[in-house]
Structures are given as structure tokens and as C-alpha cells.
């Protein structure tokens, strides 16, 4: 059977684009949107939005919350997301090691990547019995320079790429400890490259510290970062030394799962 090839010339479908924009309007902060919200945010007539939403509901991509007169994402996206996660080699390679790291440290574990110059959390482990929980969820987006994971990921980028990221998303004072000077931030990135890990002391969240390390693929490229987040008041030299050891070891083990071998 002859396969159809994607044409070199761009083929444009306005209705499909608008439907995708509707799905893209939802986020962790905007889990439910009304017809008016979508019309306003997407600059589309309500009649157009209503027609597209009705089709998306029919195929399970949206859910109509009649009591609240709002829409939310449908189960079809959850199912498709499960297909992606099942085939996501990085997440699969890291799974057991993240669980191990959580059991050894007793703290909250994060796995993150850079996508479109944003930090995205792709996995997390935590002790649900702890009274204090971290709000960052799997799938959440943060600025590329955010906290322990973002700095590790940026540390191994080309200088030109770092410049572009900082130009688009300037350093922001999330806390009193946040680095807002570009020269100081770039010096931090150099230190991370040299020592192979990062220690974040309340630079992203008040009262929260973290240790992170890079993860490499079979080519040696840094493709992700693993980190341990903990309450900063619980830090002491012995604990910090142990966490650094465990995080770096976990980064190495996941890298080996991805085919990386140190020369």
C-alpha cells in the first residue's frame, strides 16, 4: 500500500488549529473555563467556540460541566497521555531509581526536562504521610532558570542558548535568595558544570532547599535532571553530604539506563 508523504508546502486547517488552541487554553491554573473565558482568551466568537467545543466533547477531548457552565479536559486526553508515558523511555528508565532515591532520603524527588525553553516536571516521588507537601505536580511548567532542576539543565546548554533564554525570560526574584544578576547566574552555571551537581538554598521557594544532578543520554548530552527537595531548616552538613552523594549516584544510574558510558 502506498504511503502518503507529508507535503513540503504547509497545509493549513483553520478549524483544527482553533480546536487545538481550545485544548491548549487549559492549564494547572485554569482547569475549568467557561464559554466566555475561551472566547475572550482565544479572540474567537462564542458561536465558533461553542461549535468546536461540542465536537471535542463528542469525541471525549472535552467535558461539559453543566452545573458550573464550564468546560474541562476530557478522559480521552488522559488515555492518550498514558500512551505517551508508557512509551517515554526516560521516565521508564528513571522510575525505579527515583523510588529508590525517595526511600533512601525520605524526601521529595523530582525529575525534569527542558522543553521549548521551559522546565517541565515529568515525574515525582514523595512520602504522602509527611505534613508538608510540595505543590509542583507532574506536567507543571516553570521558567527554565527555576530552582535546582532548571539551573542544572541550563548549566549544560550552549552560551548562545542561555543568552536567548534569559533574554526571553529574565531572571526573576522569586525569593530574597534568588539570583537576579546575569553575571552571578552564569558563574553559578559554570560551578554546576565543574562540580556536577547543584545546591539550591531557598532560591525558588522560601524555606525550601534542594540538590540536583544531570542525567545524560547515550551521546553524553544532558537530557534531564533529578533532584531532592527538602525543608531548608532540616539541613545539616552530614545530611547535605549524603543527599548530594545519593542524587549524583541516581543521576549516574539513570544515565547508564539511557546508554551513557563514561570514557
pLDDT at residue 1 in the model = 44
pLDDT at residue 5 in the model = 55
Percent of the chain with pLDDT over 90: 65
Which has more confidence, 129 or 61?
61
Mean pLDDT along residues 189-203? 95
pLDDT at residue 29 in the model = 84
Instruction: Return the H-helix or E-strand segment holding 141.
Output: strand 141-143
Q: 212-246: per-residue pLDDT in tens?
A: 999 998 889 999 999 999 988 888 889 999 999 99
Q: What is the chain's mean pLDDT, rounded?
A: 89
Mean pLDDT along residues 154-174? 93
Q: Residues 151, 188: contact at Cβ < 8 Å?
A: yes
pLDDT at residue 165 in the model = 94
- Class for domain 14-76, per CATH? mainly alpha
pLDDT at residue 10 in the model = 65
pLDDT at residue 86 in the model = 54
85-257 CATH, one of 3.40.50.300, 3.40.640.10, 3.30.450.40, 3.30.750.24: 3.30.450.40
Given a cut of 80, whether residue 200 has pLDDT beyond it is yes
Given a cut of 80, whether residue 88 has pLDDT beyond it is no
Mean pLDDT along residues 45-73? 94
pLDDT band at residue 15 under the 50/70/90 scheme:
very high
Query: What phi, psi does 80 have (nearest 5°)?
Result: -65, -35
Mean pLDDT along residues 102-130? 88
pLDDT band at residue 20 under the 50/70/90 scheme:
very high
Given a cut of 90, whether residue 194 has pLDDT beyond it is yes
pLDDT band at residue 84 under the 50/70/90 scheme:
low
Mean pLDDT along residues 65-81? 87
Reference 90, options 255, 228, 247; nearest CA is 255
Q: Residues 147, 140: contact at Cβ < 8 Å?
A: no
Domain extents in the chain: 14-76, 85-257
Reference 189, options 209, 161, 208, 231; nearest CA is 161
The beta-strand segments (E) located in 26-117 are: 33-34, 62-65, 70-73, 108-115
Residue 10 makes CB contacts below 8 A (sequence gap 6+) with none
Mean pLDDT along residues 124-143? 74
Query: What phi, psi does 138 have (nearest 5°)?
Result: -60, 130
Amino acid at each position: 500500500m502506498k504511503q502518503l508523504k507529508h507535503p513540503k508546502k504547509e497545509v493549513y486547517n483553520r478549524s483544527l488549529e482553533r480546536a487545538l488552541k481550545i485544548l491548549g487554553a487549559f492549564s494547572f491554573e485554569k482547569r475549568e473555563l467557561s464559554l466566555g473565558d475561551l472566547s475572550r482568551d482565544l479572540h474567537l466568537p462564542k458561536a465558533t467556540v461553542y461549535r468546536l467545543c461540542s465536537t471535542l466533547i463528542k469525541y471525549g477531548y472535552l467535558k461539559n460541566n453543566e452545573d458550573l457552565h464550564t468546560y474541562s479536559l476530557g478522559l480521552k486526553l488522559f488515555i492518550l497521555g498514558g500512551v505517551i508515558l508508557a512509551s517515554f523511555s526516560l521516565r521508564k528508565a528513571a522510575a525505579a531509581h527515583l523510588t529508590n532515591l525517595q526511600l533512601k532520603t525520605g524526601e521529595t524527588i523530582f525529575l525534569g526536562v527542558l522543553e521549548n525553553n521551559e522546565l517541565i516536571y515529568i515525574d515525582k516521588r514523595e512520602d504522602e504521610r509527611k505534613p508538608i507537601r510540595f505543590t509542583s505536580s507532574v506536567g507543571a511548567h516553570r521558567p527554565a532558570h527555576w530552582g535546582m532542576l532548571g539551573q542544572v539543565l541550563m548549566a549544560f546548554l550552549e552560551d548562545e542558548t542561555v543568552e536567548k533564554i534569559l533574554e526571553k525570560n529574565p531572571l526573576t526574584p522569586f525569593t530574597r535568595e534568588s539570583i537576579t544578576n546575569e553575571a552571578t547566574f552564569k558563574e553559578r552555571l559554570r560551578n554546576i558544570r565543574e562540580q556536577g551537581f547543584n545546591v539550591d538554598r531557598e532560591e525558588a521557594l522560601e524555606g525550601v532547599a534542594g540538590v540536583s544532578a544531570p542525567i545524560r543520554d547515550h551521546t553524553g548530552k544532558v537530557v534531564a535532571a533529578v533532584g531532592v527537595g527538602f525543608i531548608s531548616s532540616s539541613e545539616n552538613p552530614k545530611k547535605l553530604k549524603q543527599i548530594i552523594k545519593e542524587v549524583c549516584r541516581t543521576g549516574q544510574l539513570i544515565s547508564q539506563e539511557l546508554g551513557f558510558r563514561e570514557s
